[in-house]
Amino acid sequence: MGAAAGAGASLAGSPTAAYAAPDQNDQGPDNFNEATIAQLQAAMANRQTSAVELTNFYLNRIQAIDERGPHLNSVIELNPDALAMAQAADASRRRGRVLGPLHGIPVLLKDNIDTGDKMQTSAGSFALVGQPAVRDSTVAAKLRAGGAVILGKANLSEWANFRSFGSSSGWSGRGGQCNNPYAIDRNPCGSSSGSGAAVSANLCAVALATETDGSIVCPAHMSGVVGIKPTVGVTSRAGVVPISHTQDTIGPHARTVADAAAVLTVIASQTFDGRDPVRQA
């Protein structure tokens, strides 16, 4: 597995934008960096911040760290509707409707997970650019139904590392080389490289990853975050670029076990999904 050359640097936790710090006495985060879902929800409930402010914070941080600066290259595409989703989440909260633990929380999705919107789902390959998904994957639909803000798509090992046994971890033709947030010259592992790196570098609150053989747990290990690889069938694979129907699964990357569990609670399928062969059994 290869990694991009570059100057070693630590990116995790370094602030890039000035935002009003919520009151610690109300258990809100002193900074959105390293904030847990529970802290972010408390801050939004207490009107110390909003989904729009959170989304802008992460968008600014992506621009500063991912697109400029050290060029982490963990985000392959931003959702042009992210702020509109955040505004809708805030409006729903003002009406007293909070749709779940991810309400108003910005989430990145690995770029092999369909979203029926203006974004591409390319698996990191130019071969799929220009053919956007016509509908959401089941997990993306569950995120929307739960009030989450879909921030964008995360870089990955092209075709989820199914391109070649000798392919470079975290490299895709469309996204370039995703780098390790703790040391730019180190391997980020894959294939969910961008999901793990983005969570570690505080470019999103949480992210969705996929695994056929190590692609959730290995990037989580290399980026110092929590990854949960669910049993096949716990999360529907409908609308996810497939590798193996007997091994593919979708799971979270998060900074804490509680955050990862919250994501899994939202995306897990409680009923059979006719679009996923395993969920029909």
Look at residue 37 and tell me if it is in a domain.
Answer: no
Q: What is the pLDDT of residue 167?
A: 81
Residue 40 lies in a domain: no
pLDDT at position 16: 31
Residue 33 within a domain: no
Q: Return the CATH number at 247.
A: 3.90.1300.10
Asked whether residue 31 is assigned to any structural domain, the reply reads no
For 47, the token pair is: 């009107």
The answer as to whether 254 is a domain residue is yes
Query: What's the average model confidence in pLDDT over 194-215?
Result: 98
Residue 169: active-site member: no
Q: 91: which residues sit within 8 A by CB, 6+ positions away?
A: none
Catalytic residue, from 50, 110, 125, 153: name it: 110
Decide if 125 is catalytic: no
Give the strand pairing for 206-211 and 106-110: parallel
Integer distance in angstroms from the first to the last C-alpha of the chain?
36
**pLDDT tens digits for 233-272?**
999 999 999 999 999 999 999 999 999 999 999 999 877 8
Select which of 168, 215, 223, 236 is catalytic: 215
> What does the alpha-carbon distance between residue 235 and residue 16 come to, in Å, rounded to a whole number?
35
pLDDT at 4: 30
- HEC per residue, the chain: CCCCCCCCCCCCCCCCCCCCCCCHHHCCCCCCCCCCHHHHHHHHHCCCCCHHHHHHHHHHHHHHHHHCCCCCCCEEEECCCHHHHHHHHHHHHHCCCCCCCCCCCEEEEECCECCCCCCCCCCCCHHHCCCCCCCCCHHHHHHHHCCCEEEEEECCCHHHHCCCCCCCCCEECCCEECCCCCCCCCCCCCCCHHHHHHHHCCCCCEEEEEECCCCCHHHHHHHCCEECCCCCCCCCCCCECCCCCCCCEEEEEECCHHHHHHHHHHHCCCCCCCCCCHHHC
Residue 66 belongs to a domain: yes
Looking at the structure of the chain, the number of domains it has is 1
pTM of the model: 0.89
pLDDT in tens, 174-202: 999 999 999 999 999 999 999 999 999 99
Range of the domain at 127: 51-280
In a domain, 11, yes or no: no
The pLDDT value recorded for residue 280 is 60
Q: Given 122, 191, 192, 193, which residue is catalytic?
A: 191
Residues 6+ apart with CB under 8 A from 64: 16, 17
**pLDDT higher than 70, residue 104:** yes
Q: How far, in Å, are 17, 78, 157, 169, 207 from residue 166 at the CA level?
A: 39, 29, 11, 9, 26
pLDDT of residue 273: 86
* Residue 26 pLDDT greater than 60, yes or no: no
pLDDT grade for 3, boundaries at 50, 70 and 90 = very low
Residue 106 to residue 198: CA distance in whole angstroms: 12
Mean of pLDDT over the chain: 89
The answer to whether residue 222 sits within a structural domain is yes
Q: Which residues contact 239 (CB under 8 A, 6 or more apart)?
A: 113, 114, 133, 135, 136, 137, 138, 139, 140, 275
Instruction: Give residue 164's pLDDT.
Output: 77
Active site residue 110: yes
The predicted-structure confidence for 56-82, as pLDDT tens digits, reads as follows 999 999 999 999 889 999 999 999 999
